[in-house]
Chains A and B, each alone.
Chain A
Amino acid sequence: MSDVIYLDNAATTAVDPRVVEAMLECLGPSGDYANPSSVGHPPGRRARARVEQARAEVAALVGADPVQVIFTSGATEADNLAILGAARFHRERGRHVVTSRTEHPAVLDACRQLEREGVAVTYLKPGPDGIVEPAQVEAALRSDTLLVSLMHVNNEIGVAQDIGAVGRLCRERGVLFHVDAAQGAGKLPLDVNRDCIDLLALTAHKVHGPKGAGALCVRREPRLGLVPLLHGGGQERGLRSGTLATHQVVGLGAAYRIAADEMEADAARIGALRERLWRGLSALPGVLLNGHPTRRVPGILSVTFDGVEGESLLYALPGLAVSSGSACATTSGEPSYVLRALGRSDRLAQSTLRLSLGRFSTAEQVDYAIEAIAASVSRLRLVAPRMDP
């Protein structure tokens, strides 16, 4: 791994060594490994204290009360619990959901499941810049709309939605508001009260925490009912049964505490690296930025290289770990549905790379990436047939 420059932090991030240290304290024979539900003995109570500290750290990052935080296996589970749980619990209140075409599959597939259960879903088309305007949401609301689900930051193009405006609109209209914040939490400011968010899905591994750890932040005042997905021991206020993985939860809490402490500095440094990367790549001819130029998370850059096929470009970059614009470059090579929703043609969608920076990215890595990509793009363009007859 050390010989490959990792610029795929939107896929996942390296766990911060400080997070690793906190997690290790919960694993070994001398650590706080006990079941946090076993509060009848000291080791169990120590594990419970660790879990509750993590709950407070997660809540603090998003302006919530700790009691609102339900630990899950990640954002996918949190999204499913939010969307399916709310729609099933409140089925008598409304049978219509509004979301966007550029949501993560965790949201889109949950919505498709609701459609199979008789719920109508409106899929909003964002503008060419990836933004879903609050007015679009307002126009889509119906008398039976139960829920609006909109992601904070898009995982492919890095665009940030105006969550606060949509949240206030939903609150005024009495519609539940769910936000998938997997890519934005810890990188951009987020506050469930200020932004009127009823259900907030979170994950650890996009912000230098462990994979397999996430949370759903659920509104408490007034209390919001959900039908659980998992049944069993009744952990997490009955909303997520299963023994809590103390070390994972502690890793999530530590990652969020560090993100809260260092968000401003990280955002400034990573944002500057992203601009350095874009300046270098945009010097090439036929290069397009995907998504709004300024309303975006610091670390994600989606770039289209006209005249270059994405899989071959990835192949030609053995020293870089980046993603293509294809939904599944390994098999079908289908163009990204996100880029297509923005109006990019199949050809341009297939000529796209996502480069994503993180806390451990450096200027030297960015400069190497610029040089390597420029050389490969030029070579592949020379190989391609000329467009003229």
Chain B
Amino acid sequence: MTADDPRYGTEVRRRMASLPGVGRFDPAADVAVGRAGDREQGAEVALHCRVAGRRVTEVRFQAFGCPHFLAAASWLSERLPGAAQQELAAWDWREAAGALDVPAAKFGRLLTLQDAVRDVARNWPGNPVPSV
């Protein structure tokens, strides 16, 4: 892969260079974790969200998948801070597809990200599962 590979847009390439947001938080009362995917299907992600004041304050991710998927997980780590539980429960994968210029063949993998974001909402510290 080189910078002129037309399969990957500028934002994907930028994020793949250093994968900002990669990592995890140790389990804690203020940390909600959302997981989704399956390595057998080629995409798996864990989103670790620190929560304060009923909003996400910080996100770390771990991911297994193609460059578009890793870049989208990285993008989410900057997109989700500030979001409330209800926003996560309603988050739609198309936002990442547009931001990262993800090809249609990879849309299924973004659904895995959507599942993980909504899983964070379900695992929100001390709160019931929101209705979407």
Q: Which residues of A contact B (CB under 8 A)?
A: 4, 307, 309, 311-312, 314-318, 330-333, 345-347, 350, 380, 382-386
A385-B62 in contact (CB<8A):
yes
Choice from B2, B66, B70 contacting A383 with Cβ under 8 Å: B70
Chain B interface, >50% SS class: mixed
Q: Which residues of B contact A (CB under 8 A)?
A: 1-3, 7-8, 16, 19, 22, 35, 39-42, 44-46, 62-67, 70, 105
Roughly how many angstroms separate A332 CA and B19 CA in the complex, as a whole number? 24
User: Apart from A347-B42, A383-B70, what 19 extra A-B contacts exist at CB < 8 Å?
Assistant: A4-B2, A307-B39, A309-B66, A311-B66, A311-B67, A312-B66, A312-B67, A312-B70, A317-B1, A318-B1, A331-B105, A346-B41, A350-B42, A383-B22, A383-B64, A384-B44, A385-B35, A385-B44, A385-B64
Q: A4-B2, A315-B16, A346-B41 are in contact. Are A383 and B7 (CB under 8 A)?
A: no
- List 11 A-B pairs, Cβ < 8 Å: A309-B66, A312-B65, A316-B16, A318-B3, A330-B7, A333-B66, A333-B105, A383-B70, A384-B63, A385-B35, A385-B62
Neighbouring B residues of A332 by C-beta, 8 Å: 105
Neighbouring B residues of A350 by C-beta, 8 Å: 42
Roughly how many angstroms separate A380 CA and B67 CA in the complex, as a whole number? 11
Neighbouring A residues of B35 by C-beta, 8 Å: 385
Roughly how many angstroms separate A330 CA and B16 CA in the complex, as a whole number? 17
Total CB contacts across the A-B interface at under 8 A: 58
Roughly how many angstroms separate A287 CA and B23 CA in the complex, as a whole number? 24
Roughly how many angstroms separate A382 CA and B60 CA in the complex, as a whole number? 13
Q: A331-B105, A345-B40, A385-B45 are in contact. Are A309 and B62 (CB under 8 A)?
A: no
A384-B67 in contact (CB<8A):
no
B40-A384 in contact (CB<8A):
no
Identify the 9 closest CB pairs spanning chains A and B, nearest first. A384-B64, A385-B46, A385-B62, A315-B1, A311-B66, A315-B67, A347-B40, A347-B39, A318-B2
Neighbouring B residues of A314 by C-beta, 8 Å: 1
Neighbouring B residues of A382 by C-beta, 8 Å: 22
Minimum C-beta distance from A386 to chain B (A): 7
Roughly how many angstroms separate A386 CA and B39 CA in the complex, as a whole number? 11
Nearest-CB residue, chain B, relative to A332: B105
Minimum C-beta distance from A95 to chain B (A): 39
Neighbouring A residues of B39 by C-beta, 8 Å: 307, 347
Neighbouring B residues of A312 by C-beta, 8 Å: 65-67, 70
B62-A386 in contact (CB<8A):
yes
Neighbouring B residues of A384 by C-beta, 8 Å: 44, 62-64
Q: A347-B40, A383-B70 are in contact. Are A309 and B1 (CB under 8 A)?
A: no
Roughly how many angstroms separate A182 CA and B7 CA in the complex, as a whole number? 30
Neighbouring B residues of A383 by C-beta, 8 Å: 19, 22, 62-64, 70
B64-A307 in contact (CB<8A):
yes
Neighbouring A residues of B41 by C-beta, 8 Å: 346
Q: A309-B66, A384-B62, A385-B62 are in contact. Are A315 and B42 (CB under 8 A)?
A: no
